[in-house]
Amino acid sequence: MKKHPLVDFTVDTANRTIRIKREFDADLSLVWQAWTTAELLDQWCAPNPYRTATKTLDFREGGRWHYAIVSPEGKKHWSRYDYKKIEPQKSITELRAFSDENGKIDPDFPRTECTLLFSETDGKTCVTMTEKYSSPEMFEKMATTSHQKGFSSHLKNLDGLLLTLKNN
CATH of the domain at 65: 3.30.530.20
Structural domain count, the chain? 1
pLDDT digits (tens, 9 = 90+) for 111-123: 999 999 999 999 9
pLDDT in tens, 2-52: 455 667 889 999 999 999 999 999 999 999 999 999 999 999 999 889 999
- 119 located within any domain: yes
Q: Is residue 1 part of a domain?
A: no
**Domain residue limits at 51:** 7-167
Cα 11–chain centre separation: 17
Residue 2 lies in a domain: no
The 10 Å CB-count burial string (b at 16+, else e) for 107-134 is eebbbbebbbebebeeebbbbbbbbbbe
Cis bond before residue 47 (omega within 30° of 0): no
